[in-house]
Amino acid sequence: MEAFLVARNPDPESRLPFLVRLPLDGGMVLSVKDTWPRASRVYCHLVDAEWTPALELVDEAPVLICRRRGAAIDLVLDRPSLYRSQFIFTEARGRPAIFWQTQKAARSANPGARVPKGRTLDGLEIVVDTREKYGYRFAGKSVEVRRAALAAGDYGLQGPSGLVASVERKTVENLVSSLSDGTLAFQMQRLAEIARGAVVVEGNYPDIFRLNPGRGSWLASMLARLAVRYPEIPVVFAGSRKFAEDWTYRYLTSASEDGIGLP
């Protein structure tokens, strides 16, 4: 196991008296205001310096999970208390900022449960697959729509190296037919090959049973099996075409805000 390390900041002029090392990218070093976000969120600043053995350690623990989640880093330590937290990359007063928080600290600091937000691209462009006959228009949304052939899904974001996020749209009838002939398995396989992918259904889960008496149970089992096989691909039942379009817009916008594979 790699270790989570906290040391005293040797810089006497720094207002952040501690340094934290996260086992990411060969060792991410942050200057921090406190050794743990006990009562409130802790302000952090990224330090362009290497961790050295000469630093005076004040805390150390084995790391179970240290993983980027878009604009956040999840940290879980192997110890009985003070073990679960997040580092949130956001903006404060128009400037980039990092906050270290626990669930309790986040709740007290932000009762509205605001989702951490990264950057939003100006002139966000959503690419609609050329095979979509009656594609979403995203009317009233601040996006540009362009048609092109997509390697996966029906609505996507393009980065410098290709498709980086995509949503596969399904009516309930199309979901049923793609489950029956095995098409959905290959569509989810292609979505799993890119950074972010999802399936949105223009209907409700009970519609599978209501519209397919005698086969609904089998279809639902097939869908559950694919969900287990591809846990990184969410299948969202949006209830209607209107809300499926809305969810697709929000999903792709969130992917752009987190900068997934984008410049």
Cα separation of 255 and 83, whole Å? 28
Cα separation of 98 and 114, whole Å? 15
The length of the chain is 263
Is the pLDDT score of 18 beyond 50? Answer: yes
Residues near 76 by beta carbon (within 8 Å), at least 6 away in sequence: 63, 64, 65, 66, 83, 84
Map tokens 């205001």 to a residue. 33
Is the pLDDT score of 246 beyond 90? Answer: yes
Amino acid symbol at 34 = D
Pairing mode, strands 196-202 and 162-171: parallel
22-81 residue pLDDT tens: 999 889 999 999 999 998 999 999 998 889 999 999 999 999 999 988 888 999 999 999
Among 76-80, 119-123, 187-191, 198-202, the range scoring the smallest mean pLDDT is 119-123
Mean pLDDT of 206-222: 94
Cα separation of 114 and 168, whole Å? 27
Q: Among 124, 146, 125, which Cα is nearest to 135's?
A: 146
88-97 long-range Cβ contacts below 8 angstroms, 24+ apart: 88/116, 89/116, 89/118, 90/116, 90/117, 90/118, 91/117, 97/43
Angle at 29 between CA 28 and CA 34, to 5 degrees: 130
120-145 residue pLDDT tens: 445 689 999 999 999 999 999 989 99
pTM, full prediction: 0.74
The answer to whether residues 83 and 65 touch, using CB atoms and an 8 Å cutoff, is no
Residues near 98 by beta carbon (within 8 Å), at least 6 away in sequence: 30, 43, 44, 45, 46, 87, 88, 89, 90
Among 83-97, 163-177, 235-249, the range scoring the smallest mean pLDDT is 83-97
* Residue 162, phi-psi category: left (phi > 0), alpha (psi -120 to 50), beta (remainder): left
- Please name every residue paired with 219 in a beta bridge, in sequence order, or none if there are none: none
Q: Which domains does the chain have, with CATH numbers?
A: 3-109 (no CATH), 124-257 (3.40.50.10130)
Whole-number percent of the chain with pLDDT over 70: 92
Query: Where does the pLDDT of residue 244 fall: very low under 50, low under 70, confident under 90, or very high at 90 and above?
Result: very high
Question: Which segments within 118-171 are labelled E, that is strand?
Answer: 124-129, 143-148, 155-159, 162-171
Mean pLDDT of 83-104: 90
Map tokens 């270290």 to a residue. 100
Q: Among 162, 147, 153, 137, which Cα is nearest to 249's?
A: 137
Mean pLDDT of 202-220: 95
Kind and range of the H or E run holding 233: none
Mean pLDDT of 191-197: 94
**Residue 166 tokens, joined:** 């995509």
CB atoms within 10 A of CB 56: 9
